[in-house]
Homo-oligomer: A and B are copies of this chain.
Amino acid sequence: MKIAIAGSGALGSGFGYQLHKNGEDVTLLDYWEEHIQAVNEKGLQITVNGIEDTAKMEMMKPAELEEEMDLIFIFTKSMGLESMLEDIKHLIGENTKVVCLLNGLGHARTLEKYLEPKNIFMGTTMWTAGLDAPGVTHFQGEGPVELQNSDPNEVKAAKEIVEVLQESGLYGVYSENVDYTTWRKACVNGTMNALSAILDANLAELFETSTINSMLYSIVTEFSLAAKLEDDVDLDVDEIVGYLTGVTAANIGAHYPSMHQDIANRRPTEIDFLNGAVVEILHEHGEEAKYCQAITDLIHAKEDVLGIER
């Protein structure tokens, strides 16, 4: 199967590597010159759950690949999705399936501008990854990757993709309600990520603050209103807050979430696709999300104070 990875940073490289090892015809796509050169010269150096390997794989810029693909996985940052879709238009044919596992909200709407619903497969992944140097990455976890067809008639196609992920050791799971999974994951990122970034705190410090319950309940309540209005998804606010509180007890207290790392490394954050998206959705329905508005305003203000270009 001809597969392209559209965005081959840490997570994309990990997915590409696993599919490649399973015998698929995988092309890695990216924009970063040094990274592309390193992979083409020395192979992809990757450590998967502690085991090192070097894989001879091809990496190039999207414009350099010419054939139509059978399957494309998108692994950009949220704000890079639309320009990536522009850049891979020529790879998408009548039957090219596109899988989007990005964090955040509102991506299905963006995909619908470029693709027919029958070719769109939305999902989430619990794999994590990091890029250590050009051409050198690590990939960790045990999945799962949940995904679902956007067109109700395409269950079979979704299950075929899930099977490829299973065979490749990526632990694919067919989801009956990927919107729920997406919203629930957005709640995790819209609380831990955003608050850690504003407060410059790791998760242990964050969850020991006296106002953690007010912060979690206020944010998750606004997310749940938006989930209901936008996708008819019923989130259980108590369950999610309980889950979040439990997570930090599980040995990840010293962890700084990705948005904190974005701020620390002077990169723009994905806040507009999390708390900012909730503000927009409620606004479109004549409601307000003032708590998420404050969080979004403060993250953008922090980016501005640090001179981060958006």
Q: Which residues of A contact B (CB under 8 A)?
A: 195, 198-201, 205-206, 208-212, 214-215, 218, 288-291, 293-298, 300-302, 304-305
With contacts A290-B290, A291-B290, A293-B291 taken as known, whether A301 is within 8 angstroms of B218 at the C-beta atoms is no
Q: Do A218 and B304 touch across chains, with their CB atoms under 8 A apart?
A: no
Number of this chain's copies in the complex: 2
Q: State A195–B211 Cα separation when bound (angstroms).
A: 17
With contacts A198-B198, A199-B298, A298-B199 taken as known, whether A208 is within 8 angstroms of B304 at the C-beta atoms is yes
Q: Do A294 and B301 touch across chains, with their CB atoms under 8 A apart?
A: no
B residues in contact with A304, CB < 8 Å? 205, 208-211
With contacts A291-B294, A300-B210 taken as known, whether A305 is within 8 angstroms of B218 at the C-beta atoms is no
Residue of B nearest to A213 (CB): B297
With contacts A198-B198, A300-B210 taken as known, whether A294 is within 8 angstroms of B305 at the C-beta atoms is no
Q: Closest Cβ of chain B: how far from A28's Cβ, in Å?
A: 35
Q: State A305–B215 Cα separation when bound (angstroms).
A: 14
Q: Do B301 and A215 touch across chains, with their CB atoms under 8 A apart?
A: yes
B residues in contact with A214, CB < 8 Å? 293, 297
Q: Closest Cβ of chain B: how far from A244's Cβ, in Å?
A: 15
Residue of B nearest to A216 (CB): B297
Q: Closest Cβ of chain B: how far from A254's Cβ, in Å?
A: 14
Q: Do A298 and B218 touch across chains, with their CB atoms under 8 A apart?
A: no
B residues in contact with A290, CB < 8 Å? 218, 288-291, 294
Partner of A205 from B200, B208, B288, B305 at Cβ < 8 Å: B305
CB<8 Å pairs between A and B, sample of 30: A198-B198, A198-B298, A199-B298, A199-B301, A201-B301, A201-B305, A205-B304, A205-B305, A206-B301, A206-B305, A208-B304, A209-B300, A209-B301, A209-B305, A211-B296, A211-B297, A211-B301, A211-B304, A212-B301, A214-B293, A215-B298, A218-B290, A218-B297, A288-B290, A289-B290, A290-B290, A291-B291, A291-B293, A291-B294, A294-B294
Given contacts A210-B300, A214-B297, A288-B290, 10 further A-B contacts (CB under 8 A): A198-B198, A199-B301, A199-B305, A205-B304, A206-B305, A215-B297, A289-B290, A290-B291, A291-B291, A291-B293
Q: State A153–B11 Cα separation when bound (angstroms).
A: 73
Q: Closest Cβ of chain B: how far from A295's Cβ, in Å?
A: 6
Q: State A84–B290 Cα separation when bound (angstroms).
A: 37
